[in-house]
Amino acid sequence: MDENFDFGMVGLGVMGRNFILNVADHGYSAIGLDTDAQKVEALTAEGTGKQVEGTVSKEVFVKALKSPRKIMLLVPAGKIVDAVIEDLLPLLDKGDLIIDGGNSFFPDTNRRITYLADKGIHFMGVGVSGGAEGARFGPSIMPGGPKEGYALIEPIFRAVAAKVDEEPCVAHMGNTSAGNYVKMVHNGIEYGLMQLIAETYDVMKRGLGLSNETIGQTFGKWSEGRLKSFLVEITADIFKQKDPLTGEDLVDKILDKAKQKGTGKWTSQNAMDLGMPVPTIDAAVTMRGISALKEQRSQASKVFDQAKPELIADEQWADTLEQGLYSAFVITYAQGLAQLSAASLEYSYELNISAVARIWRGGCIIRASLLEHIRKAYERTPALKNLLLDDAFAEILDSSHNGLRSVLKLAIDTGIPVSCLGASLSYFDAFKSEKLPLNLVQAQRDYFGSHTYERTDQQGVFHTEWG
């Protein structure tokens, strides 16, 4: 075997196999390692004619790589990443680079960076988004970790990343676990947008009684306008898919229980730790949980009255729903990006939010035409605390948030759960309220626990002997 490979990939599953073929397409020689011989064979077969090889031997793999070695892992997050590192470590030399491209939990990445730096090995946590198709033909790549490590891999990442206006969708995000953190929040936003689309579908289907065909056509039309995005586009496609078993619409045959691997939950949990509210993302995680309670939901559906008023779609229904969905999309990105700003300060990532929006414009699951406007907003004001404070976005929301309000009224009247649409509007309404009723909460805290309160008319902290 040639002993001069530019790039090594550990894990030849959905992401790893596609990523390594993408690397080979760009003129780099690449070798893959997997414990499963069939995956190695599949790579070799698909890589015919390209400078790509596979092996099940870690010794062969490491020996075949040019120094300093550039090794990327696309294996399941968690203990397997540590096991692979321990396996490779005795075979590596100082100055080699290990890149974890999986959805790893960011504190794990911090631990691994410190552990490997002690041994003279660079370690980077790199978010990769775009699914199988993205990995194969151009993902969005979010690298974080030591800059010396990034310098070694930057040319390969720039070559394989998705391109928007000829710019590669990759940029060094920041120190330590910045790459995994940005990918985690990307996935949190992904959860929010997916649930918002699902709720809009529910309002169309159960609320307005529209057919799958009309619903699909509506998403298709929206995907050509300001809601242009990967998730709206695939939603339109999903409504066209027939079930090969029954010939009926496949979407109606799919069980309404959505699984989750953890990145959405971590986004919510860490937002709580930072004290940075992301209610749309929280609600999306909660709805996956409620979806999993299928048996109890079935039971309850027989206990509670299901009668609801008949609603007739008026002429404006599509515009109203589009305004609602678009406003909620903007609010969801605003929450996620505000979390990134807070995390950047807390963890000293030094994130450039405009660059984050730039690399999310192509290749990734949350790519959307909206992201170009978001990029510009953060370019205008790099220290923008919240997207909703940008003049252009304030104007957009001023003109479309009433659509969201109308959708919610309709959903409440018909008993359709719209947690994410509702959380988005409440976040917006709370964010634009100079006064909230939390003066009363402060009074209650002081009443029962002498926790003190601040006053509107004097400096300092106060306590009252209530009652």
Ligand X SMILES: O=C(CO)[C@H](O)[C@H](O)COP(=O)(O)O
Contact segment (CB under 6 A) with ligand X among 35-43, 256-264, 335-343, 373-381 equals: 256-264
363 in Cβ contact with 162 (< 8 Å):
yes
337 touches, from ligand NDP, ligand X, none (C-beta below 5 to 8 Å by class): none
Q: Does 128 bind ligand NDP (CB under 6 A)?
A: yes
15 touches, from ligand X, ligand NDP, none (C-beta below 5 to 8 Å by class): ligand NDP
359 in Cβ contact with 142 (< 8 Å):
yes
For ligand X, which residue of 12, 278, 337, 365 counts as binding (CB under 6 A)?
A: 365
For ligand NDP, which residue of 20, 62, 77, 425 counts as binding (CB under 6 A)?
A: 77
Nearer to ligand X, 134 or 146 (CB): 134
| Interactions with ligand NDP, residue window 224-283 (CB under 6 A) | 261
Is it true that the peptide bond before 68 is cis, omega within 30 degrees of 0?
yes
34: Cβ contacts below 8 Å, ≥ 6 apart: 10, 11, 12, 13, 16, 40, 43, 54, 56
HSE of 150 in the Cβ direction (CA atoms, 13 Å)?
19
Kindly write out the interface string for residues 179-208 of this chain, putting x where it contacts ligand X by CB under 6 A and - elsewhere: --------x--x------------------
Q: How many residues bind ligand NDP (CB under 6 A)?
A: 25
Closest by alpha carbon to 360, among 373, 348, 347? 373
122 touches, from ligand NDP, ligand X, none (C-beta below 5 to 8 Å by class): none
373: Cβ contacts below 8 Å, ≥ 6 apart: 392, 393
151: Cβ contacts below 8 Å, ≥ 6 apart: none
Secondary structure class of 122 (helix, strand, coil): strand
Helices (H), 47-163: 58-63, 79-88, 106-117, 131-137, 147-160
Burial string for 450-465 (b: 16+ CB within 10 Å, else e) reads eeebeeeeeeeeeeee
CA dist 196 and 364 (Å) reads 18
319 in Cβ contact with 224 (< 8 Å):
no
Nearer to ligand NDP, 110 or 218 (CB): 110
Nearer to ligand X, 103 or 176 (CB): 103
146 touches, from ligand NDP, ligand X, none (C-beta below 5 to 8 Å by class): none
81 in Cβ contact with 73 (< 8 Å):
yes
Tokens matching residue 182: 């940005």
| Interactions with ligand X, residue window 68-107 (CB under 6 A) | 103
Q: Does 125 bind ligand NDP (CB under 6 A)?
A: no
The least distance separating ligand NDP from the CB of residue 72, rounded to whole angstroms, comes to: 10
Backbone phi and psi for residue 172, each to the nearest 5 degrees, phi listed first: -65, 120
Helix (H) or strand (E) run with residue 358 in it: helix 353-359
Of the candidates 39, 46, 53, 190, the residue annotated as catalytic is 190
Q: Does 267 bind ligand X (CB under 6 A)?
A: no
Q: Does 129 bind ligand X (CB under 6 A)?
A: yes
State the Cα angle at 32 between 36 and 186, rounded to 5°. Answer: 95
Contact segment (CB under 6 A) with ligand NDP among 31-39, 47-55, 142-150, 400-408 equals: 31-39
Of the candidates 183, 199, 233, 265, the residue annotated as catalytic is 183
The least distance separating ligand X from the CB of residue 383, rounded to whole angstroms, comes to: 28
The least distance separating ligand NDP from the CB of residue 135, rounded to whole angstroms, comes to: 7
CA dihedral 235, 262, 368, 378 (to 10 degrees): 160
Tokens matching residue 325: 């969905």
| Interactions with ligand NDP, residue window 160-189 (CB under 6 A) | none
Contact segment (CB under 6 A) with ligand X among 24-32, 245-253, 258-266, 417-425 equals: 258-266
For ligand X, which residue of 109, 263, 327, 341 counts as binding (CB under 6 A)?
A: 263
Contact segment (CB under 6 A) with ligand X among 174-182, 236-244, 261-269, 430-438 equals: 261-269
CA dist 192 and 332 (Å) reads 7
Tokens matching residue 96: 């080699």
Q: Does 261 bind ligand X (CB under 6 A)?
A: yes
Burial label, 13 (beta-carbon count in 10 A; 0-12, 13-18, 19+): middle
Q: Does 71 bind ligand NDP (CB under 6 A)?
A: no
51 touches, from ligand NDP, ligand X, none (C-beta below 5 to 8 Å by class): none
Active site residue 302: no
Active site residue 183: yes
Kindly write out the interface string for residues 94-113 of this chain, putting x where it contacts ligand NDP by CB under 6 A and - elsewhere: --------xx----------
Task: Give the residue at shortest CB distance from ligand NDP.
Answer: 13
Nearer to ligand NDP, 128 or 334 (CB): 128
Catalytic positions, written as ranges:
183, 190
Residues that bind ligand X (CB under 6 A): 103, 129, 131, 187, 190, 260-261, 263-264, 365
Residues that bind ligand NDP (CB under 6 A): 10-16, 33-36, 39, 74-77, 80, 83-84, 102-103, 128-129, 131, 261
